[in-house]
Amino acid sequence: MLQNAQYSVWFRTPAGEGHSIVSLMDGDVSGADNISYYTGTYVQEGNKFAATIAVKRHTQGPPSVFGVDNVDITLSGKSTPTTASCFGTAKQAPGITLQATHPDRRPIAAHVSKVTPI
């Protein structure tokens, strides 16, 4: 089961890959990488979870992994004692699947407050 904490996350699509910091806090998701920030919600039941996340560009840079700057992602996945991983899609980029993983489930910071987008 995922706990309230900040996590380092790796993600990819066929168009590219990246890393980010994501905060999970009582059903809310927030985070950012070098070009975008994220806000959304998640639910979990046992080792399964689902999330909806809005991704908005905050800085000019390379194309996003979806090829579109602002997307709404729907994710579903599983967590184990050692990792968490999920797959998702964005309605603004049909046919592109996102894979995300937190390969070492230890949080980088536990019980943090939400990340506020710049």
Residue 104's pLDDT band (cuts 50, 70, 90) = low
Buried/exposed code over 19-44 (b: 16+ C-beta within 10 A; e: otherwise): ebbbbbbeeebbbbbebbbbbbebeb
Domain for residue 118, yes or no? no
- Decide if pLDDT at 30 tops 70: yes
Mean pLDDT check: name the lowest of 15-24, 60-69, 81-90, 106-115: 106-115
Average pLDDT for 29-54: 95
CATH at 100: 2.40.128.380
Query: What pLDDT, on a 0 to 100 scale, did the predictor assign at position 35?
Result: 93
Say how many domains are in the chain: 1
Calculated CA dihedral for residues 78, 83, 15, 18, nearest 10 degrees:
130
Q: Could you give the C-alpha distances from 54 to 4, 47, 108, 117, 118, in angstroms and in order?
A: 19, 23, 23, 12, 15
Domain for residue 115, yes or no? no
**Structural domain of residue 23, as residue ranges?**
5-110
Query: What pLDDT, on a 0 to 100 scale, did the predictor assign at position 28?
Result: 96
What is the distance in angstroms between the CA of the first residue and the CA of the last residue of the chain?
Answer: 30
Per-chain mean pLDDT for the chain: 86
Mean pLDDT check: name the lowest of 24-28, 66-70, 101-105: 101-105
Supply the pTM of this predicted model. Answer: 0.83
